[in-house]
Amino acid sequence: MHASAPAALPTAPADRLPDGFAVRLDPRVRRRDGGATLLGGSPLRLLRLVPRARALLTGDRLVVRDATTASLAASLLDAGLAHPDRPPAAGAADVTVVVPVKDRPAELARLLAALRADPGTEGLPVVVVDDGSSSPVRAADAVVVRQGTSLGPAAARNAGLREARTPFVAFLDSDCVPRPGWLAVLRPHLDDPRLAVVAPRIVGLPGAGWLHDHEAVAGALDMGVHPAPVRPLSAVSYVPSAALLCRRSALGTDGFDEALRVAEDVDLVWRLSAAGWRVRLDPAAEVAHENPTRTAEWVRRRAFYGTGAALLAERHGSLVSPLVVAPELAAAAALAVAGGRAGRAVALGVLATKAARLARRLARPGERPPVALAVVLTARSSGAAARALARATTRHHWPLALAATLVSDRARRWLPALALAEGLLAWLPHRHRVGPVRHVATRRLDDLAYGAGLWAGAVRARSARALLPTRPPRA
């Protein structure tokens, strides 16, 4: 199987952030050396401020007033150390809402009613793209574009994109219900001329049952509670196309790759990033999404998501890697787990060497290396690497782990313990919302389904690129 070349996207403009645009440091950023050094972002990085920048950033908020403050604000945004700090928009008359739909009349009616009931979206132009529904879609107060045969969600969104006449387009899937005020939160982000897409947080519609409980804390479309830049190989590497606010000029006329029936949202974000555009997540805006209620449907959807990785690997190579880890950290983890007492001693030596090298790199001219800081950073990166390895073992590479249990007593002992420990660690942040047994069991079922889809896609593509680890990007 060979993927067709995706459509070229326009290159991002070189325009700076406008005067009055404000950014605020992420609350998780640590300031050191009297504010001269910032530690944070994803991947974790240490940013040293030159004296002029330090004088400009006296607090946690920076307002753009000239080219210098615009450059500093952009650097903080791109490093993931700060996020836009903008008041909600008073109006958003320059947005068209595009809704792709196929055979969901009740869900479409519910979405259109929610748009009419929200003062922030009432009266906005709405384009409904009927992607070959069995009965033609009818929608009052909306332009309906009908496609005679189903061409997939990417093609439907592109059809709506070509129909829009406003500078910005909000894509909403028909099984979504936006929370009031969502667009007012997102629209100010596009005052940044290099921002192509901003996404809300996707949460589940109210419901009951064990699947609902799992989706409420670990939904496949929920990118988390923290605002973030969206780019490959970072904490938030994509945002789902169920709800997006986009700059029409950044997407051109065929922004979504119509050859993809899955992972077209990931592909779009990565091509935008390659073209120099910014993409952001702002969870202060929320859009609710209707999740599957039947186990079989839920498992099939998880497996379907997994099949997209092989298609992405053909287009984007190692960006789709399921395991992003430094080789020395992976070696240390493997030695600690499988090498016995001698292996653990060697692992400590590897980490100590890494910390010593990092301390020398972090040292300012004429000052002693910050050994304590280097040890803290090494410990943090080691812990993150260990969790990434555990996650890959139980999710992406579980067929290999299962095969290892057939030939290794040690693997038979370690795999159940690892699956339990990884699940409990993931449960801890949600312990007040869901019980440990249900969470761990559902997480393991989720991982089995996704991993099965991942391997099935790799087999169909006759390529292992979607399964291979890669190094983290250089900060």
Cα separation, 406 vs 391, in Å, equals: 21
Statement: 95-291 belongs to CATH 1.10.645.10: no
Helices 436-461 and 295-316: angle between axes, nearest 10 degrees: 50
Q: Kindly state the DSSP code that residue 261 receives in the 8-state scheme.
A: S
CB atoms within 10 A of CB 1: 10
CA distances 221 to 111, 174, 186, 265, 302, Å, are 18, 15, 18, 11, 11
Pairing of strands 176-178, 278-289: antiparallel
Q: Are 104 and 175 in contact (CB under 8 A)?
A: yes
pTM of the model: 0.92
Chain segment 284-317, per-residue pLDDT in tens: 999 999 988 899 999 999 999 999 999 999 999 9
Task: Give the pLDDT of residue 331.
Answer: 86
pLDDT above 80: residue 3:
no
The residue whose two tokens read 């690892």 is 418
Chain segment 361-402, per-residue pLDDT in tens: 888 777 888 898 899 889 988 988 889 999 999 999 999 999
Q: Are 357 and 349 in contact (CB under 8 A)?
A: no
Cα separation, 289 vs 305, in Å, equals: 16
Q: Which amino acid is at 116?
A: R
4: pLDDT confidence band, cut at 50, 70 and 90? low
Cα separation, 235 vs 79, in Å, equals: 12
| Domain residue extents for the chain | 22-84, 95-291, 294-322+397-475, 327-383
